[in-house]
Each structure stands twice: as structure tokens, then as C-alpha cells.
Structure 1
Amino acid sequence: MNSADEGELDLVIVTGISGGGRSTVARALENVGYYVVDNLPESLVAQAAELAAAGGSETRRTAMVLDVRARAFMTDLVGVIEDLRKAGFKPHLVFVDADDDVIIRRFEKVRRAHPLQGDGLLGDGIAAERRLLEPARNSADTLFDTTHLNENQLRDRVEKAFLAPSTPGLQFTCMSFGFKYGIPRDADYVADVRFLPNPYWVPSLREHTGTDEAVSDYVLDQDGAEAFVEAYASLLLGTTEGFEREGKRYMTIAIGCTGGKHRSVAITEELARRLGDAGFPANTHHRDRGNE
């Protein structure tokens, strides 16, 4: 066949920095029903897509994992993606990344050399891979930053994002975080709720988190909280039709406060609830809730 009809083939292409967590992403995709092809050369992507489309129900959800172990890797993955779209497919490019220091610790832990390291240093291999993958990262539909995630947390995020929804359409992950620990690099939107009073300074609330009713009530009762959630939910809902038309299926919304324990958690939970009430699947992830 020369094209894939809408809904016939759910095609995910996974790539990213070595040590970032590609294998975990692949296993998570298998867990939610994808047929996963690992270590696929770029030159075979189009052919594999055609075979998957012709394979019927067993390969209707297919994921292909590409990395630097394949020869002639990443000469033009962005071009390959565009060719797939011209042929009628709707590939979803997933990029897995992490900070360099985290990648270095992971390689040192397993005592492996980087695939592009050669006779140089580990950092040299990582830098070379980043240069090679920059076009793919910039073109990714979904970015998973695993800097602050362990294997179980990453698997949970992937499974929630790619679990076949009961209704088609855009799906949201609403993430709370603390600015003191850095802005999530995999967020599509970032909002700052540090304009709200901090429950940390209320002794009876300090040791609790935004998922506790007392903290949530305190945050949501503050002047400006209701107006913010209502306006932000309205803004997000106003973009869904356009993003769906452009083929985007997953959105990560990051809400930040100072430490990621109180205000951002409460607002994130409320925002996810409102998106869900509007008919869009929305799960929550609290990146820094346990850091304080």
C-alpha cells in the first residue's frame, strides 16, 4: 500500500540520547499494546511502516526505536518523517533526553562506553550525539525529560500518555514542579503560580502537600486562584482543536511554584480536573512533591 488511512496505523517513532531511557519507553509502549521494533535503521523506517500498515490488527499500533547503534543513523530522520506524512501516515516522534551529568552517572553505573565515544571521553560521545540528534529533538512531538525520573516513573508517564484512550482526541499530562529544581524541558506550556500565598509559611500546612484537602482548599481559596485556573483552562481548551488538526495527541502542561510541593500541586490537580470535565483525558504528575 502507498498510504495509511486515518486511524488505521498508530505509528510512534522513538529516539533520543543514549542513556536517556529509550529502552524503558519501548517496554512501556509494549505494555500498552504497541508492537515494538528496536534498533531499526533509518533507511528501513518507510518500509517498516508499510509492512505495519498491511499487518492488520496485530501491528495497528507500532513503535520503532532508532538509536546510534544502527549504522548510517540519523542522516535525515526529519526528512523520513516528512516522507511518511506525504505517504499518508501520521508518525508521532518521541524524543527521550536527560541532563548530561545524569547521562554520565548512568553510563558510569553500568560501566559502558558511549556508542560515539571512540577513543575520547564520555562527554565527547554525548556531545557528538547531541549534535547528531538536534534536528530530531527540535521536531519531536513529545519530549520525555528523564533527568528527575526513575525507571518506574518514566514507565508510568509513558503508559499514561500512550494508553489507548476510550475517546479519541488530545490528551493532557498536568505536571507540578518547583522552580528551584529547574523548569521541565518536556513541557509544552509552563505557568508560574508563585503569585499565590505559600502554604509553607502556615505551620499546620507546611508538612502536607497540595494533594491534601487542607492545602488544596487554602490555595484555591486565595484571591486570584479561581480566576487563574478558569482562564488557563479556557486558554488550553481553546487550542485543542488546532493542535488536533495539526496531529498533536499529547500535551504536557507544567505548573510551577517555589518548591513544587504546595501551590503548584493543588493548581495542577484542579486544572486536570477541569480539563477532564471538558472531555479531555488528563493525568497528573508531581515531579518535586517529595523533595522537601
Structure 2
Amino acid sequence: MNAHDRDGATVSTGTTADTTGEAAGIPELVIISGMSGAGRSTAAKCLEDLGWFVVDNLPPALIPTMVDLGARSQGNVARIAVVVDVRGRRFFDNLRESLADLAAKKVKRRVIFLEASDDALVRRFESVRRPHPLQGSGRIVDGIAAERDLLRELRGDADLVIDTSSLNVHELRAKMDAQFAGEEEPELRATVMSFGYKYGLPVDADLVVDCRFLPNPHWVPELRPFTGLNEEVSGYVFNQPGAKEFLDRYTELLQLIAAGYRREGKRYVTIAVGCTGGKHRSVAMSEKLAHRLVSEGVETVVVHRDMGRE
């Protein structure tokens, strides 16, 4: 994954998808932003390959103009992706005004934010021997800190946050494909991610579930080598007092939350399910929870972040 994007403003169009059959009108809009080195260019390239009209480094004040031009294309530009980053930092004051303008025009828009840990970003910049755009005469970490502060409000408003700290280019593309490759967008998409608390909380989690109240299969010698994907391990977990009841009650809670997300126009949610090591209890609970969400009509992806760790 590159630690920097291309210099200057560039415009490109995808060639692998045919949009001539899509209805004319106001185009769908995706705004890609996030930390420098977190994979904005990879995310944009993925959308380009899916047939989106991609504009790199467009000043936020010009986003409504770009959408208006797309609306005049008679359906030839039905989906636009705009990369907004710190190279246009003098225009960030105009971003909220532009988003309000888009909302008034009832433009269907989403904000995708690419995130990564400081350690991951430092490694990426050092590997390509490039300075951070905001470090000036300071260190790379100074530039990263300044950028986090600048983008904090935008991150909070994002519809989807993707943490790329442990992802390679192919894994990031797979995440983007999972979100955008479908012909029709569902009302709500969920990612259920199992994790181990000893490895830290997922930074892109919207909701966190703690399964450490259940007995740990790690202490059962015949179950220790397996994971929560194993039927015996899953059976052990859900035969414990409170396990099935917890799954039932939390599913009911998610139904309430999902209804609120839909009303607020939030289309993505990441549910992090944790246990100590991220191998047994959280994996079993994630699989059952994802199955429940699918049965409720929520398109769901399951990710086991720490299952392969020792």
C-alpha cells in the first residue's frame, strides 16, 4: 500500500462496468478521505475499476459543481467518487457547507474514511522515503498528529471507517468490493468482527460486545487447539449459562439500533465481538450473531481479526 497519493488533481473513469443502462438524474456520490498513507488511492482505484467516475484531490468547495455536471450527463456519469485529503486543507472550511448543499439537493452521498495506526503509517512513509504532507520541518509523527486533529470531525461524520493497519492492498480492495460491488445497495450493511482484547480494540468499531463473561474453552485441553468455527467449541460456548440469552437479547437490541441507523441514513455498522484472545468465544458468538443479522435482512460480512494469532 502506498504511503502517499498522486500529486496534483487527476480525473479518471472506470472501464470495466457499463453504466449506460443506469437511470439518468443526480449521480450517487462517495467522498473518500482519511489519513495520508491509509490507502485512499487504493480505495479510489477499486471504485474506478467498479465503474465509478473518480476525481482525485478535488477541492471540497467544487464537489456540488461536480455533482451538477454529472447530473447533466444524461445518466452517463451515474456514480462519482471524490478523494478529499490534506493537500486541499485550505478548502476544508468549505466541506461542511458543500455537504449541506448536497443534502439540500437530496444527493445520495456517503463518506468513507481510511484509518490506520501511527505505527503503521510511520512504517509506510519510511518504506517509501517520503515526508508526511503536514510534517514540515518536524517528524513524521508530528505530521500524523496534525492530520488526525484536522480530520477528527470528518472521521466522526463518516458513514464507513476502514482501519487498514493490518491490511494489505488486496485485503483493502476486498473490503471495498464487499461494500460496493453489488448492483443494488441494501438498506444496511454490517461487519461483525471477532477480536481479542489482549490485542487491542478495533479502531473502526461502532459497537463493542464483550464475551469474556462466558467460560473460556482455552482451559479445556481437548478444545484449546480449535477455534470458534469448530462445532464442538461453538457448542461448548452456547451451552454455558447466559450465552443463548445474551445472543437473543443483543439481537433484539441490534434491531432497535438498526432501525435508528436507517432513519439517520447510516448505511454501515461494524460490530466488534471480543474475548481474551479472539479465538474461541468471540468467533463462535460472531458467527451466530451474523447468522441472526442475515435472517433479519441485513447484508453481513464476518471478519475474524485475531483468530490466527498465537
Q: TM-score, normalised by structure 2?
A: 0.86
User: Could you say which residue in structure 2 is the equivalent of 1:239?
Assistant: 257
For 1:210 and 1:8, the matched residues in 2 are separated by 46
Cα distance change of structure 1 residues 136 and 89 upon mapping to structure 2, 3 Å threshold: same
* 8 Å Cα contact 1:35-1:58 kept in structure 2: no
Counterpart secondary structure, 2:153:
helix
The separation in 2 between residues aligned to 1:53 and 1:251, in whole angstroms, is 30
Query: Quick check: 1:116 aligned with 2:134?
Result: yes
Equivalence map 1:70-219=2 (5 Å): 70=88, 72-164=90-182, 166=184, 168-219=186-237
Question: Could you say what secondary structure the match of 1:144 adopts?
Answer: strand
Moved over 6 A (4+): none
How far apart are the structure 1 equivalents of 2:74 and 2:249? 44
Separation in 1, partners of 2:51, 2:245: 40
Deviation of 1:94 after TM superposition, in Å, equals: 1.2
Q: Which moved more, 1:131-140 or 1:260-269?
A: 131-140
| Contact 2:26/2:67 (<8 A) preserved | no
2:257 aligned partner, one-letter code:
T
Deviation of 1:272 after TM superposition, in Å, equals: 0.6
Q: Structure 1 pair 277/137, CA: closer, same or farther in 2 (3 Å)?
A: same
SS in 2 for 1:69: helix
Could you say which residue in structure 2 is the equivalent of 1:53? 71
- Report how many residues are paired: 287
Q: Percent identity?
A: 51
Q: Could you say what the CA RMSD is over the residues aligned between the two structures, in angstroms?
A: 2.0
Question: Counterpart of 1:60 in structure 2: which amino acid?
Answer: A
Paired residue for 2:293? 275
Counterpart amino acid of residue 298 in structure 2: F
In structure 1, distance between residues paired with 2:215 and 2:38: 36
Q: What code does the residue aligned with 1:59 have?
A: V
Give secondary structure in 2 for the equivalent of 1:59.
coil
Question: Corresponding residue for 2:8?
Answer: none
1:254-284 deviations in whole A, cap 9, x for unaligned? 1011111111111111111111011111110
Amino acid at match of 2:162: F
What is the letter of the counterpart of residue 40 of structure 1?
L
**Of 37-46 and 173-182, the range deviating more from structure 2:** 37-46
CA distance in 1, matches of 2:75, 2:193: 33
**Cα deviations across residues 217-270 of structure 1 (Å, max 9, x unaligned)?**
222222211111111111111222221121111111110111111111111111
Question: Matched residues in 2 for 1:282 and 1:229: separation?
Answer: 16
Against the structure 1 CA distance between its residues 178 and 111, is the aligned structure 2 distance closer, same or farther, given a 3 Å change threshold? same
Distance 1:166 1:215 in 2: 37
SS state at 2:162 partner: strand
Name the amino acid aligned to 2:307.
R
| Runs of 5+ unmatched residues, structure 1 | none
CA apart distance, 1:143 = 1.1
* Deviation per residue, 1:151-209 (Å, 9 max, x gap): 22222222212333656311111111111111112111111011111111122221221
Gaps of 5+ in 2: 1-22
Contact preservation (8 Å) 1:161, 1:173? no
Q: Tell me the amino acid that sits aligned with residue 306 of structure 2.
A: D
Structure 2 Cα separation of the partners of residues 165 and 234 of structure 1: 29
Residue of structure 1 equivalent to 2:271: 253
Question: TM-score normalised to the size of structure 1?
Answer: 0.91
Contact 1:114 1:122 survives alignment (8 Å): yes
Distance change in 2, residues 1:71/1:178 (3 Å):
closer
